[in-house]
Structures are given as structure tokens and as C-alpha cells.
């Protein structure tokens, strides 16, 4: 894979999982997709900022890029048969859920496609032996969040494993430098600026310019070379807040309304992990995986909600090292259905002064042609 192709993959992944059209002002009602885009037929009544994440959900479910259904740079055209088929499939999916599941979103694109262009009609051969069937009475146990025990003790153990709350509270800012390792092993310099409790700006330096992912505590944005600045959709901003706060762990529990302990353990890399559900009203629960022996956080799995289903993002943490008495992950891997890349740090500096301007969203004229793009 060439470096140019790798860059396009990375930029598309970042933009497609966090990008949305400009949000409506607080004084007006949210605009619908049909008002912002041309030739919307099936998804015209969803919020405009959900459209791009929803398209990414389709992309991930079928394992395709935008051009599979759309004419490049002329997204409103209906020249491709696959676009018509996608509309028919979405209509069918909505009808199935309405008629069979009381309108709940039980059937999605991924239910049948599982990452392939064609639905999987034939059962796949298992790569490992099937798990034993659960006992009948297991289904009778109440596993609703309200019935689960608190995850607070697990979080407390985590803070102690890192160095203790007092040491964590002394970290007000953090500047990190390293490389983003792309598929194929190529690396690009990256610098991360963070301020407690939840402000974080990542700047990746590509051969074509800087690619930026930012969240300042109340809004998020993305920018890439040759692309206009994009604001994050609401659900992506919540995910960005979780990610940013994870690097100031003393504040992580405050991101969620409550923490609940998942009843069963899960294994990551051969190590048993305790799973805590981070529950926030109106958002899909996040899953936090803590190594059962060390107590350290090894994974966060969270989701962005779209009109068709949930887009997952998984962040794995590793290579913990002590920095000023606080254990800090020097490596994390960000994985989405469209691909994964790893950030490996070389240097971490705590309490380095950071100009507040670093966390101010740049002012930029509206994207040319706003209201002329389209999807389904």
C-alpha cells in the first residue's frame, strides 16, 4: 500500500467517523438531512449531523467506500444501481423493525451483511469450538443496569494502580510526542496537547499537511489537508469527551451517570479483564476493560449512534510507564470497522504550559456548496 493511499484511508476514517455538516444554532431547531442535502429520499427526516456517521455505518457494514453507491464528487446523482438498491434495503429494514420488533432497531445493515457486499446466507465455519450452551435458568437472571453492582471499586483500584488520586490530581496539562503507525508500518509524527479534565488536540503531520482531531470540553472538530474544517456530530462529541478524559483518569468516572460492573469477565490478550459499563442517559453504554491483576485500563469500547445502527470505536492501551509518579500508556491502538492505527509515544511532559488558543475552534467560512451534497 502506498503512502498516498494510507493517508487517504486515515483521513477518510477520521473524517467519516467524526464529521458532520454544520450544526444549527442554539436558537433554531436542528435542521434535517433533507434540508441540508439534495436528493435525499429515505433519510431526509434524520438530523443533518447524523447523515455522515450513518453513511459510515453502511460503509462499515458492507465493507465498501462511498463510491460503491455514489458518483465521485457528484453525490446527488442516481446513476449507480447500488444506490437504488441501498434505498430499497433501508426501506425494508425500517419495515422489518416496525412490523416485527415494535419499531426497535433490532435489524440493521450489519445483521445480514457482516462486512460483505452480499448478505451472508450460509453459516460461517467456526475458527474455534463453539462455546457451551447456557443453562436455562441463566436467562432468568436480571442483568438490567439497575440490578448490576457498582463499578466504583474497580475504578478506585485503577486510580491506585496509576499512582493514586493525589498524584493524578497534580497533572493539569500534558504534551505528548510520538508517531502514528499506519498499516504497513509507516509512521507519521504526532503531537498531542491535553488539558485537564477533558480538552485534547491531536496534530498528525502528514506529507500533505496537518491532520487535526480536537475536543475542547464542549465541542469537537476535525481538519485534514485539502479539506474544510468539520464539526463533530453530537454522539461523536460524547465519544471524544470519553477519550479525552481517559487521559486524566481522576475525572473519568464523572463522564458517566453511573458505573456498573458487568457480571461476566472477558479475556484480552490472554489476560482476564473486569468490565465496567459506563452508563450515560441518551448514549449507548461504554465498556471499560481493566486487567484483573494489575487493575490498569486496557481497553475502552464506545459507540456513536446513527440512524441505522451503532458505529463502534475500540481503543486499546498498553506500554504503561511512570511519568512523574503516574503510570501512563505510551501506546494506544484506535480500531474501527474501516481500519486501525497505533500511536506510539516517545516523550510525555506533564504540566507544560499550553496556550488556551490551542483549544479554540478555528473560524472558517462555510464549506462551498453547502446544501448541494447528497446521500440516500
Residue 164 has pLDDT above 90, yes or no: yes
- Would you say 261 and 127 are in contact if contact means Cβ atoms under 8 Å apart? no
**In this prediction, what percent of the chain has a pLDDT beyond 70?**
84
How many other C-beta atoms lie within 10 A of the C-beta of residue 132? 6
The alpha carbon dihedral of 99, 105, 106, 110 has a sign of positive
Buried b (16+ CB within 10 A) or exposed e, 246-280: bbbbbbbbebbebbbebeeeeeeeeeebbbbbbbe
pLDDT in tens, 41-68: 889 888 888 888 888 888 888 888 888 8
More confident residue, 1 or 367: 367
CA pair distance 42, 274, nearest whole angstrom: 42
Q: How far is CA 16 from the centre of its chain?
A: 10
Buried b (16+ CB within 10 A) or exposed e, 74-108: ebeeeeeeebeebbebbeebbeebeeeeeeeeebb
Residue 104 has pLDDT above 50, yes or no: yes
pLDDT in tens, 289-345: 999 999 999 999 999 888 898 889 999 999 999 999 999 999 999 998 888 999 999
Sort 294 into a burial class: Cβ within 10 Å, 0-12 / 13-18 / 19+.
middle
Q: Rounded mean pLDDT of the chain?
A: 84
pLDDT in tens, 229-258: 888 888 889 999 999 999 999 999 999 999
More confident residue, 34 or 137: 34
User: Structure pTM?
Assistant: 0.79
Per-residue pLDDT band at 146 (split at 50, 70, 90): confident
Per-residue pLDDT band at 355 (split at 50, 70, 90): very high
What's the pLDDT at 302? 93
pLDDT in tens, 192-217: 999 999 999 999 999 999 999 999 99
The span from the first CA to the last CA of the chain, in angstroms, equals 31
More confident residue, 244 or 111: 244
Domains located in the chain, CATH noted: 3-22+32-113 (1.10.468.10), 146-359 (2.50.20.10)
Residue 116 has pLDDT above 50, yes or no: yes
Amino acid at each position: 500500500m502506498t503512502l498516498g493511499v494510507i493517508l487517504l484511508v486515515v483521513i477518510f476514517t477520521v473524517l467519516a467517523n467524526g464529521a458532520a455538516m454544520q450544526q444549527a444554532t442554539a436558537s433554531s431547531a436542528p435542521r434535517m438531512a433533507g434540508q441540508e442535502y439534495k436528493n435525499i429520499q429515505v433519510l431526509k427526516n434524520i438530523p443533518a449531523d447524523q447523515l455522515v456517521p450513518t453513511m459510515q455505518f453502511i460503509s462499515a457494514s458492507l465493507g465498501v467506500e462511498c463510491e460503491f453507491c455514489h458518483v465521485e464528487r457528484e453525490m446527488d446523482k442516481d446513476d449507480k444501481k447500488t444506490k437504488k438498491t441501498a434505498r430499497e434495503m433501508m426501506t425494508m429494514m425500517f419495515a422489518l423493525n416496525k412490523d416485527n420488533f415494535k419499531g426497535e432497531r433490532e435489524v440493521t445493515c450489519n445483521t445480514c451483511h457482516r462486512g460483505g457486499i452480499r448478505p451472508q446466507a450460509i453459516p460461517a465455519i467456526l475458527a474455534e469450538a463453539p462455546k457451551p450452551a447456557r443453562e436455562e435458568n441463566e436467562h432468568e437472571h436480571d442483568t438490567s443496569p439497575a440490578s448490576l453492582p457498582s463499578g466504583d471499586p474497580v475504578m478506585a483500584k485503577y486510580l491506585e494502580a496509576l499512582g493514586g488520586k493525589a498524584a493524578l490530581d497534580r497533572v493539569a496539562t500534558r504534551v505528548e510526542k510520538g508517531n502514528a503507525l499506519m498499516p504497513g508500518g509507516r509512521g507519521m509524527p504526532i503531537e498531542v496537547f491535553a488539558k485537564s479534565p477533558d480538552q485534547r488536540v491531536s496534530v498528525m503531520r502528514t506529507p500533505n499537511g496537518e491532520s487535526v482531531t480536537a475536543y475542547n470540553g464542549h465541542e469537537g472538530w476535525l481538519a485534514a489537508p485539502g479539506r474544510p474544517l468539520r464539526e463533530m456530530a453530537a454522539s461523536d462529541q460524547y465519544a471524544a469527551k470519553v477519550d479525552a478524559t481517559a487521559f486524566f483518569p481522576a475525572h473519568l468516572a464523572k463522564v458517566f451517570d453511573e458505573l456498573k460492573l458487568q457480571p461476566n469477565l472477558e479475556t484480552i490478550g490472554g489476560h482476564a479483564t473486569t468490565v465496567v459499563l459506563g452508563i450515560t442517559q441518551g448514549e449507548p453504554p461504554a465498556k471499560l476493560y481493566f486487567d484483573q491483576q494489575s487493575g490498569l485500563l486496557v481497553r475502552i469500547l464506545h459507540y456513536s449512534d446513527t440512524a441505522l445502527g451503532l458505529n463502534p470505536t475500540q481503543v486499546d492501551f498498553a506500554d504503561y510507564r511512570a511519568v512523574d509518579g503516574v503510570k501512563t500508556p505510551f501506546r494506544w491502538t484506535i480500531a474501527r470497522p474501516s481500519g486501525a492505527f497505533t500511536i506510539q509515544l516517545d516523550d510525555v511532559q506533564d504540566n507544560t504550559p499550553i496556550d488556551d488558543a490551542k483549544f479554540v475552534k478555528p473560524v472558517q467560512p462555510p464549506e462551498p456548496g453547502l446544501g448541494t451534497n447528497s446521500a440516500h
